[in-house]
Amino acid sequence: MRNEPKVVAITGASSGIGEATARRLAADGHRLLLGARRVERLEALTEEIGAAGGTAAFRRLDVTDAGDVRGFVAAAGERYGRVDVVVNNAGVMPLSPLDALEVEEWDRTIDVNVRGVLYGIAAALPVMRAQGAGHIVNIASVGAYEVSPTAAVYCATKFAVRAISEGLRQESGGGVRVTLVSPGVTESELADGISDPVARDAMKAYRAVALPASAVADAIAYAVSQPPEVDVNELVVRPVASAR
């Protein structure tokens, strides 16, 4: 298995899976551009990676803005000369029953979880086509395979990411690799955004057994490290003790 240094752009890199992935890929020798809205966290993470001998830079990023995402991917190419991997990791999870009618939360979930991934693909594909190679890694969830009460909209967005990833794989013609990583319950800040009290309490119990974010980062690193002729398409990563 080869592990040649690559240029990797990661969205949602300020915490959770994105932050852990940045640490893991930097330790593997890859050169990173980190994106998120919380610039102070990105700055601290970039300094930490640099102090450990890694290579990373950061840029403020709003994945709901197509132009901002294009600028983010372009900045990776301008800084490092190419873009080998884009990890579309940014996501939100504001759960609530449908009859709570949290329409603004629905819109936000769709904007970040679906449009954000599509904007990442739209920004990366032309660059990777021009290079003749590239790798798009989309982060979904076990919610891409099942639906739970209060999670209908969230799961719908993750079903969409799964469908988009499979469509992209079929259309790529082998020039661009596509990986879908679907974590089970993982330590992160996603649950902090749940405003509905019933859903929030249910999620506390659901998250009693959780993976460390580093376990998902390891799965991403595995897919990225494969030789050019190997395309790891789907990885589902769950805690051993989890029923879901």
Which are the contacts of 217, defined by CB distance < 8 A and separation ≥ 6?
17, 20, 21, 23, 24, 25
Cβ neighbour number for residue 28 with a 10 Å cutoff: 16
Run of H or E residues at 187: none
Output the CA angle 13-192-213, nearest 5 degrees: 45
DSSP string covering 134-173:
EEEEEE--GGGT---TT-HHHHHHHHHHHHHHHHHHHHST
The first and second tokens of residue 92, run together, are 């939100």
Rounded Cα distance, 36 and 45, in Å: 12
Rounded Cα distance, 142 and 153, in Å: 14
pLDDT value for 244: 57
Active site residue 222: no
pLDDT value for 153: 97
Q: Could you tell me the pTM of the whole model?
A: 0.91
Local confidence pLDDT in tens for the 244 residues of the chain: 346 899 999 999 999 999 999 999 999 999 999 999 999 999 999 999 999 999 999 999 999 999 999 999 999 999 999 999 999 999 999 999 999 999 999 999 999 999 999 999 999 999 999 999 999 999 999 999 999 999 999 999 999 999 999 999 999 988 899 999 999 988 755 555 566 565 555 555 555 568 999 999 999 999 999 999 999 999 999 998 765 5
The first and second tokens of residue 218, run together, are 């390891």
pLDDT value for 142: 95
Which residue out of 80, 145, 154, 222 is catalytically annotated? 154
pLDDT value for 2: 47
Output the CA angle 219-237-212, nearest 5 degrees: 75
Query: In angstroms, how far is CA 198 from the centroid of its own chain?
Result: 27
pLDDT value for 215: 96
pLDDT value for 240: 85
Which are the contacts of 53, defined by CB distance < 8 A and separation ≥ 6?
none
